[in-house]
Amino acid sequence: PYRSLEELRRRWPAIEEAARRAEPVERKRRRDELKGSAEHHALRAKSRERQRHRYPVLADQLPPGDRPLMSHAGALVFTEVTGELVDEESLHQHYLWSAGATGDFVWASWRRPGHDELVRTWPARQPASGAELARGWWQPTIEELRDARRKARSLERA
């Protein structure tokens, strides 16, 4: 019991600081300070891009449709490849993983897979290679599937 009290006393300043930062007034002040800054514009641009439900894929290596795959954005099901070329600015601004890839990228529409789809998905035997990571999508491993299933189950319950 005495050791735990000493540990609590040692950590108490960090707990107080975290509680102070979590106060609604303090959070609002930080949000107001952030408005108008370059970081705020970058966060808003990233949010807008995520809401478009599009993902760049290499034009010569298109993902299979209607099947859960892993990507740098998590588990996705690609529904349609539009064929519209991705402009270099948005590619390098929002999709940092694409820096090492060569080739033309096109936009693909996506949706999040449901829990039942993830349960029916067969896992890959080996982790994704460097080439698969560079192209942006790969067959999920069992660990990635377990994590995606847990998240999907939580979302379905909510």
Give the tens place of pLDDT for each residue, 21-59: 999 999 999 888 888 888 889 888 989 998 999 999 999
Could you tell me the pTM of the whole model? 0.74
Q: What is the pLDDT of residues 4-25, one digit of tens each?
A: 888 999 999 999 999 999 999 9
- pLDDT at residue 36, rounded to an integer: 84
Rounded CA-CA distance 106/121 in Å is 25
Q: Which of 111, 119, 108 is nearest to 76 (CA)?
A: 111
Q: What is the pLDDT of residues 83-106, one digit of tens each?
A: 899 998 888 889 988 887 778 999
Give the mean model confidence (pLDDT) for residues 148-153: 96
Burial of 63 per CB tally in 10 Å (0-12, 13-18, 19+) = buried
DSSP H or E segment with residue 1? none
Bridge partners, residue 57, by sequence: 106
Q: What percent of the chain has pLDDT over 90?
A: 65
Spatial contact of 62 and 47, defined as CB atoms under 8 Å apart: no
Residue 2 clears pLDDT 90, i.e. is over it: no
